């Protein structure tokens, strides 16, 4: 399986054009392109442009809505409940995050729930958005209607991939960002593997018979190289990471990101996909006027990175460091996409009547 490598800005512009032709405003198309490519740049291809065909399909069938302005259902000095009204996650999530940032800037602390959002993408983007304003943030996320993950000790799906994320700002340095699905792999990583990309670990999936595996067909059933992936067709599940610990964290993400937000914990009977998110924002300058926090972070980072590696020549990496390095590499060299992923994106571009010459220009 080969790859196509495209410069980040060119890929952003191409994705933006696809969504403009799909019925989004120019601004929304650019925003979707920017955030999807940002995920690729960070090395999280599972949340990158591989999502383009699925997003366009959702727009066509009306399960996601273009150019939504969120509704503010609860508005106190420190709390907000935001309804995304099934808008694109790349449009409604930054609106919710800005509300949380604004309240935290005034009061030192805020809590915001977002309900009924389209796929919000890489949660780390929202932690980075808060960190850019000097704020710590914590995010619990669920995906109602997306039942993919088996709880510890089971083989049947009960959880979404239920991401968890923490962001901590650092002056004049990249923020510390911990961002992961509470499953062994995010569903998007299985999607990438199904299109000729990086394979998932051998024990990432579990069949209905209890056998562990890595074949994407366990999750999606039968599919063609460039066709849609429908996880309702598969008989297997993704496994929760960390045995009972990851399974327990996934359970809490469902209740906090889903139930508390009003989105609802994931339910196979819910026909319409929606992300829910509970976010806390903290201004460290209010909690720590003496400036101890940034000094202690720097000291502890050095202490952790100074640990003896388990493998000769190895290195201890801190949260956010692999993403920062990958971003620098891919900004310089371009974003590599498996042939099947690129073919599916091109097929989507043609489906919205994007000019063939524009399609050919994308890889120049």
Backbone angles phi, psi at 282, to 5 degrees: -130, 130
pLDDT at residue 330 in the model: 98
What percent of the chain is modeled with pLDDT above 90? 95
* CA-based radius of gyration for the chain: 20
- CA 143 – CA 84 distance, rounded (Å): 13
Same domain, 100 and 146: yes
Tens-place pLDDT, residues 228-260: 999 889 999 999 999 999 999 999 999 999 999
CA torsion 282-283-288-292 (nearest 10°) is: 90
pLDDT at residue 363 in the model: 87
Q: Which two tokens stand for residue 130?
A: 């808060």
Nearest-CA neighbor of 274 among 122, 43, 118?
118
Tens-place pLDDT, residues 153-205: 999 999 999 999 999 999 889 999 999 999 999 999 999 999 989 999 999 99
Q: What range defines the domain where residue 128 resides? A: 76-193+238-284
Give domain status of residue 311, yes or no: no
Same domain, 156 and 142: yes
pLDDT at residue 1 in the model: 66
Model confidence band, residue 268 (pLDDT cutoffs 50, 70, 90): confident
| H or E element, residue 58 | helix 52-61
Same domain, 172 and 110: yes
For the ranges 30-34, 36-40, 189-193, the lowest mean pLDDT is seen at 189-193
Give domain status of residue 310, yes or no: no
Give domain status of residue 321, yes or no: no
- CA 311 – CA 15 distance, rounded (Å): 41
Tens-place pLDDT, residues 119-132: 999 999 999 999 99
Tens-place pLDDT, residues 207-235: 999 999 999 999 999 999 989 999 889 99
Same domain, 103 and 135: yes
- CA 163 – CA 277 distance, rounded (Å): 9
- CA 319 – CA 323 distance, rounded (Å): 8
Domain count, the chain: 3
Q: What is the CATH number of the domain that holds 126?
A: 3.30.1370.60
Same domain, 211 and 347: no
What percent of the chain is modeled with pLDDT above 70? 100
Q: Does 270 have pLDDT greater than 90?
A: no
């Amino acid at each position: 399986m080969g790859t196509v490598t495209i410069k980040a800005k060119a890929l952003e512009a191409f994705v933006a054009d696809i969504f403009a032709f799909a019925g989004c405003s120019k601004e929304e198309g650019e925003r979707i392109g920017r955030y999807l490519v940002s995920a690729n740049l960070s090395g999280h291809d599972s949340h990158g442009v591989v999502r383009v065909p699925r997003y366009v399909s959702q727009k066509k069938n009306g399960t996601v809505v273009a150019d939504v302005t969120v509704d503010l259902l609860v508005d106190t000095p420190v709390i907000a409940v935001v309804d995304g009204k099934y808008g694109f996650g790349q449009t409604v999530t930054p609106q919710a995050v800005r509300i949380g940032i604004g309240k935290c800037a005034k009061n030192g602390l805020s809590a915001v729930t977002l309900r009924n959002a389209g796929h919000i993408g890489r949660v780390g983007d929202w932690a980075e958005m808060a960190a850019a304003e000097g704020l710590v943030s914590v995010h619990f996320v669920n995906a109602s209607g997306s039942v993919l993950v088996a709880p510890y000790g089971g083989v049947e799906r009960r959880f979404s991939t239920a991401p968890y994320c923490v962001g901590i700002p650092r002056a004049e340095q990249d923020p510390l960002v911990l961002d992961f699905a509470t499953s062994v792999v995010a569903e998007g990583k299985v999607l990438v593997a199904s299109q000729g990309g990086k394979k998932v670990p051998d024990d990432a999936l579990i069949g209905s018979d209890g056998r562990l595996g890595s074949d994407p067909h366990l999750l999606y059933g039968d599919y063609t190289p460039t066709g849609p992936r429908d996880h309702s067709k598969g008989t297997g599940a993704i496994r929760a990471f960390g045995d009972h610990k990851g399974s327990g964290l996934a359970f809490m993400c469902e209740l906090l990101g889903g139930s508390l937000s009003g989105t609802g914990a994931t339910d196979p009977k819910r026909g319409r996909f929606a992300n829910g998110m509970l976010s806390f924002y903290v201004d460290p300058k209010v909690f720590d006027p003496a400036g101890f926090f940034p000094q202690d972070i720097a000291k502890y980072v050095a202490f952790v990175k100074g640990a003896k590696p388990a493998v000769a020549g190895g290195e201890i990496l801190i949260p956010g460091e692999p993403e920062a390095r990958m971003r620098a590499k891919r900004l310089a060299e371009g974003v590599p996409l498996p042939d099947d992923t690129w073919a599916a994106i091109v097929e989507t571009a043609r489906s919205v009547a994007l000019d063939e010459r524009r399609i050919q220009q994308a890889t120049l």
